[in-house]
Amino acid sequence: MNRVLVPLAMEAAAPLLGAQVHSLEGQTMGTTWQVRWAGHTMAVTAARVRAAVQDALDLVVGQMSTWLPGSDLDRFNRAPAGSVHTVPEAMAEVLQAACALAEWSGGAFNPAAGALVNLWGFGPSPRYTDAGFEPPSDAAVRRAWAHTDWRALRWDAMHRQLRQPGGVLLDFSAIAKGYAVDLVSRRLSAMGLPHTLVEVGGELRGHGVRSGGQPWWVDLEAPPLAPGQPAGPATRVALHGLSVATSGDYRRVFEHGGVRRPHTIDPRTGQPLANGLASVSVLHTECLWADAWSTALCVLGQEEGMTLATAHGIAALFVQRERDGQLTETLTSAMQELAE
């Protein structure tokens, strides 16, 4: 049995008689992007669409990449203790959301967790894939943890000012892809393309309809099942004015001494997640929020995550690994409302 999720309200979308679906793709942020749009070929050329997408992605990378030396984020991370920086507008938008979610989640989501992320081999260097990479000692974790207080950044949204307390490393990898999806989607809409599906590294946002009046249907990424286990229900979403993001313990993970070390860190303990959550998918109108919430709920785990998501009316699907290897699913009521 498949589960189908559809938005509660449908925009009145003009039927696209004779329109075709076009597609472009490329690489960004260490992953891939894909843009699909329904329209008449003559309306907007593929070259113009590619240029607009590239421009939006370059803006996000230039401001928020941990990997690009000289990005605004990289310069902040290297800045001396006590220095105050005016951050560019897009970065400010992301930081504002990230700090709000850090507060709501009691620090489970933390945009200042870069020192811990690096220590566990998930930053630029060292990499957990390097030969001879060893998990850090408790003392090293404690030292890095001392530089992860997002409140010490004294974020001043009004003046877009941020203070480097000394050694704090911002990491927007849990939210910037979602923001990039939003930005690309908005730019395409401003170019006169209302029927689009935008994807960056598995985070998606859909608008309008494809030809034939059908919404953009996408299948949620499902965690792999243990061998011999019956497949759970596949979940299909109509991305009509909706975004979806998934965080999970099965991508970018290493094993050490029989323990799985996924790339998401619980900043409250300084350790990679070990709460048995295989994945969390979140639906939201904004992909920035879908991306950030899916990471936050992953860190919080099913019980705490369900409570916080429910309090904020977030549509979330939790997939938990049980002790016997079975996967069980839990949906918040906002997610249940979308299920047919």
Instruction: Map the footprint of ligand AMP across residues 132-171, applying CB under 6 A.
Output: 171
86/64 Cα distance (integer angstroms): 14
Q: Select the binding partner of residue 264 from ligand AMP, Mg ion, none (C-beta < 5 to 8 A, by kind).
A: ligand AMP
| 50 phi-psi bin (left φ>0, alpha ψ -120 to 50, beta other) | alpha
The residue from 33, 76, 122, 254 that contacts ligand AMP (CB under 6 A) is 122
Place of tokens 């590294």: 201
Q: Is 316 in the site for ligand AMP (CB under 6 A)?
A: no
Please report where in the chains the tokens 């009145």 appear, as a residue.
12
Minimum distance, C-beta of residue 102 to ligand AMP, in the bound complex (Å): 8
Q: How far is the CB of 228 from Mg ion (least distance, A)?
A: 31
Query: Token pair of 113, please?
Result: 């967790």
The least CB distance from residue 17 to Mg ion, in Å, is 38
Query: Nearest to residue 168, comparing CAs of 155, 140, 149, 151?
Result: 149
Among 265, 278, 314, 317, binds ligand AMP (CB under 6 A): 265
Can you give the length of the chain in residues? 340
Query: How many whole angstroms separate alpha carbon 278 and alpha carbon 263?
Result: 12
Residue 165: asked if its preceding bond is cis (omega within 30°), the reply is no
**Beta strands 203-206 and 196-200, pairing class:** antiparallel
Residue ranges binding Mg ion (CB under 5 A): 174, 291, 295
332 binds ligand AMP (CB under 6 A): no
| Contact assessment for residue 114 and residue 123, using Cβ atoms and an 8 Å cutoff | yes
CB of 290 to ligand AMP, least distance (A): 10
Residues from 50 through 109 that contact ligand AMP (CB under 6 A):
109
The mark string for 271-300 relative to ligand AMP (x by CB under 6 A, - otherwise) is --------------------x---x---x-
Nearest to 320 by CA among 333, 335, 334, 301: 301
DSSP string, 298-317: HHHHHHHHHHHHHHTT-EEE
Considering the complex, state which of residue 169 and residue 237 has its C-beta at the smaller distance from ligand AMP. 169
For residue 174, state whether it binds ligand AMP (rule: CB under 6 A): yes
Output the smallest distance, CB 167 to ligand AMP, in A.
17
Residue 188 makes CB contacts below 8 A (sequence gap 6+) with 35, 37, 49, 52, 53, 196, 198
Q: Which residue, 37 or 145, has its beta carbon nearer to ligand AMP?
A: 145
Give residues 237-256 in contact with ligand AMP (rule: CB under 6 A): 247
Binding status of residue 270 toward ligand AMP by CB under 6 A: no
**Whole-number minimum distance, CB 54 to ligand AMP, in Å?**
22
Which parts of this chain interact with ligand AMP (CB under 6 A)? 109-110, 113, 117, 122, 171, 173-174, 247, 263-265, 267, 291, 295, 299
